Each structure stands twice: as C-alpha cells, then as structure tokens.
Structure 1
C-alpha cells in the first residue's frame, strides 16, 4: 500500500494498493541492517526471493528436501560481516561524550548507589631515570603486602635477595625465589620500587638505594639483547617472562623451570629478547671487560651527575661490547647444535 499526502493540505491523503504481501517480518529490537536474500530478475524490475532455495519453508518441503536428485543452483548470497552493537535505541549514542550539567555533577559527588566491587590498589612505586628515588615504602603498601601474603617464607626470600644485592630484574626474582608471579607482584611493593627508564631501566631497586650515587651501581646497569635471527630460540614471550608460562618454551625439555636471569656460555636463551644486568652475563670476555672498568675507575675522571643519570657509570661502548659477546656466543652455540643434529641425522641413515 502506498500513501501520499498533499503538501497544501496534509489532512488529505491518496491511497494506492500495489499488491498482496505473503510474508510479514517483524522485529522486536532496533536493527540498523536488514539484508534479505534477493536476486534481481533479468529484464524486469522485480526481485526473486531466494529463501525457498536456501531453507525449507513448510513441513512438506522439509520432508522432501533431501530426496532431490539434482540440487537447485542457488546464487551466492553474502550477508554483511558486521552489524550494529546496540540492540535497543539509545539517546546517548548521539549525545555529547561529556555531560557537565549540575545534575551530573551532583550525581558524581553523591553517587546513585553502593559500589560492591573491591577497589584495586596500585601501591607499587614507579620512577623515571631523573626522578628522586624513594627511601622507604608507604605504610599502606606494607600493610597491603602482609594482607595479601600472610606466610613469612616469601617475605623472607625477598628480603634475603635484596640484602644480597640491591637491584634485580623481575625474571631474576622469579628464578631465585621460585614463588608464583601473582604472589610476587603482591608483596614486591614492600621491598623495592620499579625503575622504568634510563641505564637501570627494567629493574626493581631496593628502597633507600640509589645506583646513581654508588660507583658499584654500574654492575647493575641493564642491556637488552635480541635474538631474532636464530631459529633455535622460541618465538614466544619476547619481553615479558613469567614463571608460570616459561616451562612451555624450554627447548631442552625442562618443564616448570623459570627462565634464567643470567646468560651462561654455551647455553641458548629461552626467549627472543632479554634484559640482563651486566654482572649477570657469565662470559669470560664480559667479566674481563667489567673487571678492567672497575679496576681503572679511580684513574678515570669522575662523570658528571647528568652523565650518570643518562648513561650510567659504564661507557656505552662497554655495553655494546658485552652485547656483541652475547650474540657471538649465541651464534657459535647455534652452529654447534645444528652440526650435532645433522650428524645424528646422518647416523640414522647409515
């Protein structure tokens, strides 16, 4: 049915019946797209309904659906791949994102009800390279750590590690304590703060210690080493390594063993990217370079505070040298492993 209204007099209408409708579709919710399977008839302005060719329309057709000898050729019909996310109309979709009315401000101050969700508290301290390093944790962080972990053993392990040395990578803490990653995150805020950038970036530092004021702090400077060119090292977990997932990527077959925080000669790392403290690189060449730097530091001029903050105590060429030594050892170890595998394969065919 087609209805037309006169522009001069909207009360007068003209009605015209166009045809008889066999099927009526109704929708209970708002739908922004409705695609019906139709095909335009060649030579006419009409369309062919494809539903009878796609699905049975009545019981008798359904019973005879699988008895057809020759299947009917059905045109390809592709519906849209994405529809509206909203099922009901909402006036806020087209409204302003920020409402600064007095009613909204009163609602924010007073609240409409009680929030039953437990508040998530981020009590760990994160600093940048140029910030002041905190002397002690907050009282709230200490109370929260004891509330999250009431057993004394994890607290004792962390305290002993930070008494052993003041700076650790998270991988090193997981490897030495063997405690769960989630438990470590909940109590670490009591003992150390996180350095996000600079020469000591990616390290957890003991409260009260500042490596910028201690010449021994150069031993804890971090270097990032990437091993993307070696197929023997797994692709997964490039930067973030946790103890609960590390066992799945060990090429040596060891399971439930955290990733080691040290680089050892002749052992391939288990991840493609690692952050090492320079003192944790157990290569003869790297140890020799560090010993030479530490023994000759008194003869060299003292770097300025700005240089220490930006570059650390070690010259950049020393870090590059240690990184090159690691990559060289990885390349040599990979060649040895490939040669061993090839020899075993030849023995199997002999």
Structure 2
C-alpha cells in the first residue's frame, strides 16, 4: 500500500566547535581578529586546515601560532562539553530557561610553542620613541606597489635593512636539549680532533668493569662510573635497592638481580657499574661481584659458584630469542616481560633452555648436602673453584634428570582423558 504522507523533514545536524583561546578574552572582536576573522576561521575549518593565531595581525612579519585539532573521540576524555542556552525573562529575572543544544564535536587548542616575534621598528634619532618601518618596507596598496621602485626615497639613508630570519622554529614543541658551544677545551680533546680522518661519531664509553678469572679484582668503582650512575638515575630508591642487595650477598647473576629488584634492563646497565664488576670466566663466571670482594680467597664463596645447565631440543622449554628485531613488539606477552626466575626448584621447568645457576640457588637435596661439606682445602680455587668439577657434573645430570621426569609427568597428565562415572 502506497503511503501518501510526506516523510518528516530531517533536522539539520549542527556541529559545535570550541576554540580554546590562549589568553583572557575581554574584547571578542579583537580576539576574532587575531584568528583572521570569522570568514578565515570558517574557511580553515571546512578545508581541514589548522587555525593560525597572530597577536599582532597588522604586522606581516609576525609568526603565527598553529592550533591542534582534536576530534570528538579525544574531546570527551573524562570531560563532557555541552553547549547550553540560557534565557532569562525580563518580568521574572529569577526564572531561567535552559536548553541543551548538543555536544562539542571539535576542539581547537593552542598548546604549541609561541615563536619569536620580530617587529620592524627603529629608534628615533632625535627624541624618544620608535618609528614604524612597515610603510617603508612593504607597499600598502596597489598604486604604491606599481610605482614602488620609481618613487623617491623620503628618508634617504634612514631606512635600515630589516632582515628577519628566513625560517623560524622548525618544531611546534620546545626541546629539552641545550644547543651551545662545547666548553671543554682540554688538551686530550684537542689532540683527538687534530689530523685527517677524524671520527665524528659520538663516543659511547662503557664504564662497567669486566675481568677474567685470573685478573686482579677491583676494590672500588671509578669516580667517572659513580658520577655517571648518579647523573643518569636521580631517584634514590634504585640505588638503595642495589646497595642492600649486594650487602645481603656479594655475588649475583644478572637474572637474579633483575628478579629481586624488578628494575628495567636499561636502568640496570647504568647502575651496576657503581656497585659491582662482571666476572666473565672461571668458576664464578657470569656473576656480578661486589667491589672489594674476592671469591678466590674466601671458602664461603663456594655458595656462589656457577653451574651452566643446557636443555637442548626440549619441546616444553622455549628457545630464547637473542635477536631483539625478531621479537613481536606489537603484543608483548606477560610471560616474556617477567624476569626469568634465578633458582631451580624440583618439579618446575626452567623458562629458557640455557641457565646459569649459583649453587646456593639450586634447591635439590644433593646440592644442599654438597654445600654443607668442607671444601676449604681445594687446590687452585682461582682456576677450578672450591668444589671439584666431578661433583658439579653429577649435580648437572641430576638437574637434567629432574627436568626430564617433570616433563614426563606433565605429558602423562595431558594424555589422561576425563571419564564420566555413572
């Protein structure tokens, strides 16, 4: 059946725009003039261009502040902007009628940096005050522009060369870097700059100390390392955590430090150089050792001897990805963001296929009984440690056997199918 009724007319959708003016508006006409007028504002808005704010619109040398456009998806972030209409009757001024016209769709803000302004002025030779140079630099109308080069100079030799910068600030936000000349003119730096083939790459100096098993161990960090750590980390809490950690125990693995403190890897790289040095090889290889402590002379350091255990071709233990570019950065998993546990617990699989354990962190009965024995009469502890290599190999095989048994138990639990009892 045909409907002869006319469809209801659709109401025009009104779009409300808010301009956050960076100042106290006492004269609305003057404020609109600094934005180019209503016609210029409408033209830029419907063309999708940013608004430009000029505090001195009559000055052609001014540098405008550019606005930032925010849509309704970001406008109502915790703040609801309504456009309300208020009406007050003359006979009854205490009665106020309110009407909600709608929500704000677009918001213009001026949060960017206000650039430098150059005014073409020159101080008068006689008397006080300044003269405006704009009529002498730029023609104001078309007739004066046509005869600009043929007209006689009213003030010969008086009009200066007003040359503003070719380009103003290249960024809309201020920078925290200080661009200044280098004030360090020591002879060492001067010698480095002389000669051909100068390397212009910024020097990245590693301040952490790395030693081998037979090297002399340092007793204190360098002054440069301490100053660099204090400069890069102003917060005292990470410093306090690392100092307490090395007071509790003189030697730690990197995984143990990250697990105990919860600090990020970049922060640990900066702070460890202040409290410990790295042992690269030997019985205590892969450990960070407190400055002033020498495990080669202390029999109690057998607690911290390292044991490397590898679990190759183990399907239940994921292979650790060494290349950072191959990681999926879009969706970081919760397990990959957590630090690897540094202890070995019976019945729990390691997170990675190659682990370095301190002997005191292995919670097996054989390891606990091994550490209770007296190993102070061992020969050449600086090369082989306080505990014999055969005992360490036996402990390594016990760990692998426990991992194999745990994996078989997990496979058996998955193979069991649930049955219904009637």
Contact 1:192 1:207 in 2 (8 A): yes
Task: Choose from 309, 329, 340 the match for 2:382.
Answer: 309
Contact 2:378 2:387 in 1 (8 A): no
- Residues of 1 paired with 2:195 and 2:419: CA distance? 75
Contact 1:239 1:274 in 2 (8 A): no
Change (3 A) 1:273 1:287: same
Shift of 1:311: 0.3
SS at match of 1:211: coil
The 4+ residue runs of structure 1 with deviation greater than 3 A are 106-109, 111-118, 237-240, 253-256
Shift of 1:205: 0.3
- Residues of 1 paired with 2:199 and 2:306: CA distance? 43
Task: Choose from 209, 216, 226 the match for 1:142.
Answer: 226
- Residues of 1 paired with 2:259 and 2:286: CA distance? 16
Task: Choose from 337, 361, 381 the match for 1:256.
Answer: 337
The answer as to 2:292 corresponding to 1:217 is no
SS at match of 2:418: helix
Contact 1:135 1:209 in 2 (8 A): yes
Contact 1:191 1:206 in 2 (8 A): yes
Contact 1:237 1:271 in 2 (8 A): no
| Matched positions, count | 228
Contact 2:375 2:386 in 1 (8 A): no
Contact 1:198 1:311 in 2 (8 A): yes
- Residues of 2 paired with 1:303 and 1:239: CA distance? 41
Deviations 1:145-183 (A, max 9, x none): 111111111111111110000000011101101000011
Change (3 A) 1:107 1:218: closer
Contact 2:229 2:271 in 1 (8 A): yes
- Residues of 1 paired with 2:335 and 2:414: CA distance? 19
Q: Structure 2 regions of 5+ residues with no counterpart?
A: 1-189
SS at match of 2:296: helix
- Residues of 1 paired with 2:192 and 2:364: CA distance? 60
The answer as to 2:411 corresponding to 1:338 is yes
The RMSD of aligned alpha carbons is 3.1
Match of 2:391 in 1: 318
Contact 2:346 2:364 in 1 (8 A): yes
Counterparts of 1:77-88 in structure 2 under 5 Å?
A: none
Match of 2:400 in 1: 327
The answer as to 2:214 corresponding to 1:130 is yes
Q: Structure 1 regions of 5+ residues with no counterpart?
A: 1-105
- Residues of 1 paired with 2:392 and 2:254: CA distance? 20
Shift of 1:111: 5.2
Task: Choose from 260, 276, 282 the match for 2:363.
Answer: 282
The answer as to 2:260 corresponding to 1:176 is yes
TM-score, normalising length: structure 1: 0.60
SS at match of 1:209: coil
Shift of 1:264: 0.7
Shift of 1:262: 0.6
Contact 1:238 1:272 in 2 (8 A): no
Task: Choose from 347, 371, 375 the match for 1:266.
Answer: 347
Change (3 A) 1:166 1:239: farther
Change (3 A) 1:107 1:165: closer
Deviations 1:216-272 (A, max 9, x none): 0111110110011421000124799xxx99x968xxx74632100111111100100
SS at match of 1:161: helix
Contact 1:263 1:280 in 2 (8 A): yes
